[in-house]
Structure 1
Amino acid sequence: MNFWRLATLCELCSTASINEISGQGSVDKVAIGSLMRYKYYEGSSNESLSTLKQAEQSTTYRDSSTAHLAVDGNPSSIDTICAHTNNQTDDWWMVDLGRVFEVTTVTIINRFDDCNCGGRLDGIVYEVGIATGSWEECGRFLGPGHGVVNITTTCDRTMHGRYVRIRKIKQDYLSLCEVYVYRSSNESLSTLKQAEQSTTYRDSSTAHLAVDGNPSSIETSGNEHICAITNNQPDDWWMVDLGRMFQVTTVTIINRIDDCNCGGRLDGIVYEVGIATGSWEECGRFLGPGDGVVNITTTCDRTMHGRYVRIRKIKQDYLTLCEVYVYS
């Protein structure tokens, strides 16, 4: 059992109210929700995130070829234990990872039996989404899949999402014997660290919301605000203190994607790294377009070391950051 799971179990035990004689009792559901929200980095990077998770597909070829067969933990490449869709245009298969992860790699166990059907996976798109309606392409496999058991695709950029979808881009059966989704072993340096910003749009849109471990791209959840927002002023900025010096290589922002249509607010920002708060050096820029883009990632154009990372507007607009991940 890995460290994070063990820690989570221990913390959950401390929230339980159990009768010592009968062994019956209850667990504080609020405490569980809080714990699971902040256990963002759970498990080791070589554990599949998709195994035994909830899956669905657009169509099912036979009643016994259901979506869950691709995440049941059985990696056999024989037809009877594989998920199959019908032979239709744009058929897809999807898994719900349960919460948001940084997704880096997807491996498919292809069908490899007397059918000679391995080529059915020629022409597929891998997509990652914060929600089921906000897909971004991770990569493609165009073939040839015939005779290939393991088909692995690594996302072409840093991506965060709860859902992973595999979609056909030509008409054919989609046959998946098993799907493994993996996350990065590189943990964010900024999560749960001290943050501040130049101005605050509302009392509840404070800087810490961009490093609280909640990567939702929707600005409000009920009465709870989950994105950091500054006022609409020139040169507004947001900053995080990493706690000590690191080599900073990449910064990923979870952009606001909701009914506001505010994704373009991030058009025109500068990423800066500093040894101290008064000694900034530019890491890179994002000029847009940000509208409709969930994950905005910038890699520093050179080796940079610093304790502080700042995101600064270079045009007047609200600075809206739903989550910020800094990587070494």
Structure 2
Amino acid sequence: MPLNFLLENVALKGTVTQSSTYLNTWVAQRAIDGVRHKDTYCSITLSEMNSWWRLDLLSEYEIGTVIITNRDNGWAEQTSGAEIRIGNSMENNGNNNPICVVIPNLQAGTSIIFSFNGTVGRYVNVVMPTVQHLSLCEVEVYGTGNKTVK
């Protein structure tokens, strides 16, 4: 088992927000509730250009792994193609932080693991760079450091 899986999911301690909320019920917090693969536990934005979801880890971490889980009732395009951005800047709601990876075509109901080496940041943003809903059923972030952000 990779070392990152021995670390705590620091996303559960963070706070989240998103660019908009679909039907006022698919709130950002549903993506860090610890529940995978249940469609009623997903966050979904409106269909808009550059829809985004942001996790504030409340302090800086060296992030080793991010796991994204897609909804299991279809609409895989609402996650596929989204950019994961990690950094310390709140410029443009954190969406100007460096792109670390683009989520490939992700099948419904599946999770994908991204490993990073030395990526440091307080904010983890997921940005859909097209006109589209952004749907996230779970976002897990494993890291170390918990350095105080100045």
SS at match of 1:50: helix
Shift in CA distance, 178/56, structure 1 to aligned 2, threshold 3 Å: same
Matched-pair contact (CA < 8 Å) for 2:72–2:110: yes
How many aligned positions are there? 141
Equivalent of 2:101, from 139, 148, 155?
139
Shift of 1:92: 0.3
- Among 85, 88, 103, the residue aligned to 1:130: 88
Q: Name the structure 1 match of 2:43.
A: 83
Of 95, 112, 118, the residue aligned with 2:76 is 118
Letter in 2 for 1:149: T
Is the aligned partner of 1:108 residue 2:108? no
Q: Which residue of 2 aligns with 1:153?
A: 114
Unaligned runs of 5+ in 1: 1-43, 188-212, 217-328
Conservation of the 8 A alpha-carbon contact between 1:129 and 1:161? yes
**In structure 2, what is the Cα distance between the partners aligned to 1:215 and 1:64?**
32
Query: What is the alpha-carbon distance in structure 1 between the residues aligned to residue 118 and residue 78 of structure 2?
Result: 28
From 116, 141, 150, the equivalent of 1:181 is 141
Structure with higher Rg: it is: 1
Distance in 2 of aligned mates of 1:49 and 1:169: 26
- CA gap of 1:132–1:78, structure 2 versus 1, over 3 A, is same
Change (3 A) 1:73 1:214: closer
Deviations 1:72-110 (A, max 9, x none): 1222x2322110001111000011111110012211111
CA distance in 2, matches of 1:99, 1:106: 17
CA distance in 1, matches of 2:48, 2:57: 26
Higher relative contact order (CA 8 A, sep 6+): 2
Q: CA deviation at 1:154?
A: 2.3
Task: Describe the SS at the equivalent of 2:33.
Answer: coil
1:48-67 to 2 correspondences below 5 Å:
48-67=9-28
Q: Cα–Cα, structure 1 residues 49 and 108, in superposed 2: closer, same or farther, change >3 Å?
A: same
Query: Does structure 1 retain, via aligned residues, the 8 Å contact 2:59–2:148?
Result: no
Query: Scaled by the length of structure 1, what TM-score is found?
Result: 0.40
Structure 1 runs, 4 residues or longer, greater than 6 Å off: none
- Displacement after TM superposition at 1:175 (Å): 0.7
List aligned pairs for 1:1-328, cutoff 5 A: 45-75=6-36, 77-113=37-73, 116-133=74-91, 135-141=97-103, 143-147=104-108, 149-155=110-116, 157-183=117-143, 214=148, 216=150
- Any conservation in 2 of the 1:139–1:154 contact (CA below 8 Å)? no
Root-mean-square deviation over aligned CA pairs: 2.1
TM-score normalised to structure 2 length? 0.83
